[in-house]
Structure 1
Amino acid sequence: MNLDPKLMEIIRCPDDHGTLEPVGEELVCQTCGLAYPVRDDIPVLLVDEARKPA
C-alpha cells in the first residue's frame, strides 16, 4: 500500500471520525476498529464496505 502521508493526515473514519492506521492492505480505525479496504492505492471509506472488528 502506497498512500501519501499528507492524505493520511486528513482522512478519518466515516463512522466515528477516528484516526485510521494502515494495517496490511486495510486502514483500521483506532477508535471503533472498522477496517476499510484499500484497492489500487485508493482508500474505500464506505461503512458498508468496511470489515467489522472480530
Structure 2
Amino acid sequence: MVDGRDGKKANVDPKLLELLACPLTRGPLAWDPERSELISRVARLAYPVRDGIPIMLPSEARSLPFDDGLPPPRLGGPS
C-alpha cells in the first residue's frame, strides 16, 4: 500500500517506534508496513503514517475488526 501523497511506502524509524505509544491505552504499537499504519492491539486501532509522520489522533485511526487475524489482547493480572 502506498502512503498516498507521493506514491511511496511510508517507513517508521525503529527508534521512534520504541518511543511511541497508543494515546488511548498508553500501550505499545506495532508497525504494519503493508498499510503504513501503527497498530494498537489493545485499543484495536490502526493509526496512519503520512509522509513518514505518525498521525496519533484517535479520530484519524481506523478501527480494527475482531476477525482481522490479530491475536486477542493480553490483559494483565495473575497467571
* TM-score w.r.t. length of structure 1: 0.87
Partner of 1:4: 13
Counterpart AA for 1:41:
G
Q: CA RMSD in A?
A: 1.0
Match of 2:55 among 44, 48, 51: 44
1:22 aligns with 2:31: yes
Contact 2:11/2:36, CA 8 A, preserved across alignment: no
> Which consecutive unaligned segments of at least 5 residues does structure 1 have?
none
Contact 2:47/2:57, CA 8 A, preserved across alignment: yes
| Bigger Rg, structure 1 or 2 | 2
Q: Name whichever structure is richer in strand by fraction.
A: 1
* Number of residue pairs aligned between Structure 1 and Structure 2: 54
Q: Name whichever structure is richer in helix by fraction.
A: 1
| Higher RCO (CA 8 Å, separation ≥ 6 residues) | 1
Partner of 2:75: none
Partner of 1:34: 45
The sequence identity of aligned pairs, in percent, is 46
Counterpart AA for 1:2:
N
